[in-house]
Structure formats: C-alpha cells, structure tokens
C-alpha cells in the first residue's frame, strides 16, 4: 500500500501539471494497477458525482502518517512519508481559493457520489467547500505541520500551511441540527445517502486523540 501511494504520486505529479497547472501531486476517486491518477469517466461519459473528486491524495496520506504514528520510525517519515505528504499539501495549497467571508475553499467540490437540489429545484453535484474536502485538507495540513516539527525541517513551508489551515472554511450546522455536507444547507434528493463521507473528520478525531474537531 505504501509503495502504491509513492508510485501513484509519480503519475499524480503529471496529473497536477497537465490537468490543473498546479504543483505537487493529485489523485482522483479511482486508482488501479497502472497508478491511474487522472479523472475517469464511465463508459466514456464521466459524472461529476465522482470524476471531480480530487482529494484522494490527501486521503491516502493519512495512511503514511498513521504508519509513522504507529512505529515512530523517523527515517520512514523523513525519507518516504513526508515528501509525499508535502507534495499533496502543495497541490491543496494551490487548489484552495478565497471563498465566503475570506475563508479558503475548494471549488469545484463534491461529497462522495451525493447530490443536492439547487434553489430552482435541479439536482446537482458540484458546489464549494464540502465538509469532506475541508476535513481531508485540515488533516493533511495538520500532519505536515507535525512532521515538520518532528524532523526540524521546512519551517517556512510549515508556517505557510499553518496560515492556510487557520483560514479553511469551517464546519456548518444545518437547519436540522446536522453537520452540513456542503457549505450551503442544500436540500438533498437522498437525505439518507449510503455515503457518510462528510463525517470523516469525526472519525479522524476518534482515531487520533491528539486531534480535535474543528467547529
């Protein structure tokens, strides 16, 4: 798995350059034996419900950090994990844009395979700053900051990441007392959708006591 992430990142650098003209590396919702990192279609016609999800590099980097957190191998952190985590963070830093109230947001943004209703009643999948995106980036940035501190390197980059982390769009509570899946409290075609990806930040906090839930 760890070797797969490293190899995927090599293709991911090209995807970041070609698809986004951005630094670092990126991967989307669907990888394979050939280290596919670009958006994929479905029989030639991709759906934004999955094709536009570009946060899997941040998601995969969780495993790199958890491997270090378990075995405390600083050699692994320095030589393998941190360069990959930094590359994913470089893409996220460049991908974030100013949004509502000066917060940093992802745009476009999806919440795994889910949809919402626009104000005129149409079903849509793309918005900005899904809770899932914000949680994944917050976790990646937090781990990069901690790794920089442990290794005693990249203080300038760490400061840049920390500044961006402080500006990430925060979680929102919806009209039903729920954690909003998107930055806006949209009505949903499937309120009980099978994916609960917007809760990933809560699972991260439960798994890693050092982390707190942003509100």
CB-count exposure of residue 168 (10 Å: 0-12, 13-18, 19+): buried
Question: To the nearest whole number, what is the mean pLDDT of the chain?
Answer: 91
Is residue 9 situated within a structural domain? Answer: no
Query: For position 172, which CATH number holds?
Result: 1.50.10.10
How far is 191 from 139, CA to CA, in rounded Å? 26
Q: Is residue 14 part of a domain?
A: no
Strand 123-124 and strand 104-105: the pairing is: unpaired
Structural domain containing residue 93: 58-207
Assess contact for 26 and 89: CB atoms under 8 A: no
Domain-embedded: residue 117: yes
Report in angstroms the alpha-carbon separations of 105 from 34, 56, 70, 89, 155: 31, 17, 31, 14, 24
Q: Which of 94, 119, 122, 118 has its CA nearest to residue 106? A: 94
- Residue 157 forms part of a structural domain: yes
In terms of DSSP bridges, do strands 123-124 and 116-117 run parallel, antiparallel, or are they unpaired?
antiparallel
Does 45 map to a domain? no
Q: Radius of gyration (Cα) for the chain, nearest Å?
A: 17
Does some domain include residue 175? yes
Number of neighbours of residue 22 by Cβ within 10 angstroms = 16
Q: Say if residues 64 and 55 touch (Cβ distance below 8 Å).
A: no
Q: Cα separation of 95 and 193, whole Å? A: 27
- Nearest Cα to 89, choosing from 37, 22, 40? 22
Q: Is residue 26 part of a domain?
A: no
Q: What is the pLDDT of residues 162-196, one digit of tens each?
A: 999 999 999 999 998 989 999 999 998 887 877 88
Please determine, for residue 108, whether its predicted confidence score (pLDDT) is greater than 70: yes
Residue 39 has pLDDT above 80, yes or no: yes
Domain count, the chain: 1
Q: Distance (Å, rounded) from C-alpha 173 to C-alpha 152?
A: 38
pTM of the model: 0.93
pLDDT for res 197: 86
> Does residue 11 lie in a domain region?
no
pLDDT value for 131 = 96
H-helix or E-strand spanning residue 94: helix 82-95
């Amino acid at each position: 798995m760890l070797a797969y992430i490293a190899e995927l990142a090599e293709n991911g650098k090209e995807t970041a350059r070609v698809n986004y003209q951005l630094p670092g590396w990126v991967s989307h919702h669907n990888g394979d034996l050939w280290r596919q990192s670009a958006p994929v279609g479905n029989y030639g016609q991709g759906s934004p419900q999955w094709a536009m999800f570009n946060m899997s590099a941040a998601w995969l980097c969780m495993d790199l950090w958890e491997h270090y957190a378990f075995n405390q191998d600083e050699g692994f952190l320095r030589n393998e994990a941190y360069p990959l985590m930094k590359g994913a963070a470089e893409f996220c830093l460049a991908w974030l844009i100013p949004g509502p109230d000066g917060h940093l947001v992802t745009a476009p943004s999806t919440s795994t395979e889910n949809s919402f209703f626009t104000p005129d009643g149409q079903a849509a999948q793309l918005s900005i700053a899904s809770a899932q995106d914000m949680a994944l980036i917050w976790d990646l940035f937090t781990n990069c900051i901690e790794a920089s501190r442990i290794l005693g390197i990249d203080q300038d980059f760490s400061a840049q990441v920390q500044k961006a982390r402080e500006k990430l769009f925060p979680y929102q509570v919806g009209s039903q007392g729920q954690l909003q899946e998107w930055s806006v409290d949209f009505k949903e075609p499937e309120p009980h959708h099978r994916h609960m990806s917007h809760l990933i930040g809560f699972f991260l906090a439960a798994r890693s006591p050092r982390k707190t839930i942003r509100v």
